[in-house]
Structure 1
Amino acid sequence: MTVAVFIDGAAGTTGLEIRDRLATRDDLTLIEIDEARRKDAGARAEALNDADIAILCLPDDAAREAVGLIRGDTRVIDASSAFRTAPGWTYGLPELGFDVTGADRVSNPGCWPTGFLLLVAPLVRAGLIPADWPLSYSGASGYSGGGKAMIAEFEGGAAATGYRAYGLSLNHKHLPEMRDHAGLTQPPVFLPAVANVYRGMLAEVGLSLHAMPGRPSLAAMREAIAAAYDGAPLLTVADDAPALVRIEENAGSDRVTLRVLGNAAAGQARLIATFDNLGKGAAGAAVQNLNLMAGLDPLAGLTV
């Protein structure tokens, strides 16, 4: 028997990508409603309750509403930020030990928190970064991360830029999940930007090692991250010294490459994650979590 899946919000950027990934699979059945009724609460409630697993690709308030429409035992993957630190919800980053397989309510991580947490959480857990240490997190995402409006802006020529910073109030909605799931007492100073590329992501944390308790080495940090993800099929901890790292490195895939780079003599480090903002940063993560929850091949529908 196949697993019945309903994507609520399948017309958005993330929803469309998830639907495309699932449409040809024979281990799943997609529940769909007529386009004219996709915003009808009654039609959505019926589809939500008929599904074994519902994937919500909605704004936060609409996601909360959708969960409230469920009366049966439908399991949920929510791609909004509504439940990422909510009690009773499992954070959908299984590489960090969250039990997605046994969960009924899974909150898909944000793309930016994915990079931060994969880099930082193992180092906090290993005691190499103190939980109260001030951190700065920066980088750039492809413009598809901004959804249809931003895609139209960039592809229509209205965004006359190659790179622009945003989130300048330093009060971004991703901050609570980065703080809580990294085990920090305070969120990082978060400095996001968007680049004039459709998809791809480069995210990094800079560290002054001489100032840190114990003065952790580059090698110790790399070893701690590699040990945390030993056997994780989508993650690679690179042991290289590239002259440059490109935002497009893992675009079009569900892979994540993590690097610990820097100047050992100067006691400075750059922790860098490259991945696809629509892959492991959004749709790919949702498909991975769906596979785990349904007991299917964990890599089905993913590009590795």
Structure 2
Amino acid sequence: MTHKVFIDGAAGTTGLEIAERLAGRDEFSLITLDDAQRKDRAARREALNEADVAILCLPDEAAREAVSLIDPTSGTRVIDASSAHRTAEGWCYGFPELVGRERVADARRVSNPGCYPTGFLALVAPLVREGLLPADWPYTVNAVSGYSGGGKALIERYEILTPPPAFRGYGYDLAHKHLPEMQAHAGLEHPVIFAPAVVPAFRGMLVEVPLHLGAMEGEPHADALREGLARHYADSKVVSVYTGDTPAELLLDADAAPGDGMELFVFGNEGGWHARLVARLDNLGKGASGAAVQNLNLLCGLDETSGLKLPSA
């Protein structure tokens, strides 16, 4: 069976990477619009309603508009890569490893996770659910990303500067749009403090959650957190938990190749009462386009890893 897919916003970074992952796959037939049609409301409406699955790679307001153009009787299922519906009622949060593959497969409306929340939630949500970390702790997230995650305007600013800035911190108003998503899907009582930054690499991301375990009730041990994550992701081909000798450092390569996997690390001090939880992923892979393709595969009853760029077993 061939599934008709329309990528609304196909000319953007996320849309282009999704199309590249779908190229050559005979399970899918892409509905495409030319340059003149991409901003034509009637042409978009027709494409959205013709598709079996519409993937929205749009700003939030445009994504909401796209959903409004879909006739409820058309049968079109939606994957929204914007942040418009990540905590919205009636939408499935598209993180199969957390919400369950069956739930994604059965959904009609799927909201793709944000790139930073993907790393944070992968680390924290399973441990909170298992009772290894408290839901009422004031969590902090420190993260750096390749500049491609900032959208077209930021990409242009970085690529015209010689040399590019070595570090760009932002989110200093403490009101980043990812905060509700992180809190809701980790089941936390308090919003997190989120400290994002951009570095002069095109892609790649490190998301870190530092923890003073000795100050928590029950004093969880770093080893227990690592073991809990390893249990949770034991059957995942996308998310891996590092259980070998602790590496001395973690790197982001400025010219890294695309990748759709995610690595999780738990670093602990000698007593195990201080820990640093770290996720390493491609902000355009598992953080965006790769996650959309993984969700698309599930919606269409296919192997969730088909077409993904994953390390060889």
TM-score (norm 1): 0.97
Deviation string 1:57-82 (CA, Å, 9 cap, x unpaired) is: 00111000000000011000000000
Structure 2 residue runs without a partner (length 5+): none
Q: Deviation at 1:119?
A: 0.2
Alignment match of 1:79 (pick from 81, 104, 118)? 81
In structure 1, the partner of 2:172 is: 168
Residues 188-197 or 154-163, more deviating: 154-163
**Contact persistence 1:165–1:193 (CA under 8 A):** yes
In structure 1, the partner of 2:309 is: 303
CA distance in 2, matches of 1:280, 1:23: 18
CA distance in 1, matches of 2:213, 2:20: 44
Q: Deviation at 1:159?
A: 7.1
Alignment match of 1:193 (pick from 197, 200, 203)? 197
Distance 1:119 1:14, change over 3 A: same
CA distance in 1, matches of 2:195, 2:207: 10
Give 3-state SS (helix, strand or coil) of 1:138's partner. strand
Aligned ranges 1:1-304 → 2 under 5 Å: 1-71=1-71, 72-98=74-100, 99-157=103-161, 160-239=164-243, 240-248=245-253, 252-265=258-271, 267-304=273-310
CA distance in 1, matches of 2:295, 2:178: 20
**Contact persistence 1:7–1:57 (CA under 8 A):** yes
CA distance in 1, matches of 2:228, 2:257: 26
CA distance in 2, matches of 1:207, 1:247: 23
CA RMSD, Structure 1 to Structure 2 (Å): 1.4
What's the % identity of the aligned pairs? 60
CA distance in 2, matches of 1:161, 1:79: 28
Give 3-state SS (helix, strand or coil) of 1:223's partner. helix
CA distance in 2, matches of 1:15, 1:273: 24
Runs of 4+ deviating beyond 2 Å = 247-251
CA distance in 2, matches of 1:264, 1:123: 21
Q: Deviation at 1:248?
A: 3.6
Q: Deviation at 1:257?
A: 0.5
Q: Deviation at 1:185?
A: 1.0
The alignment of Structure 1 onto Structure 2 pairs a total of residues equal to 304
Amino acid at match of 1:89: W
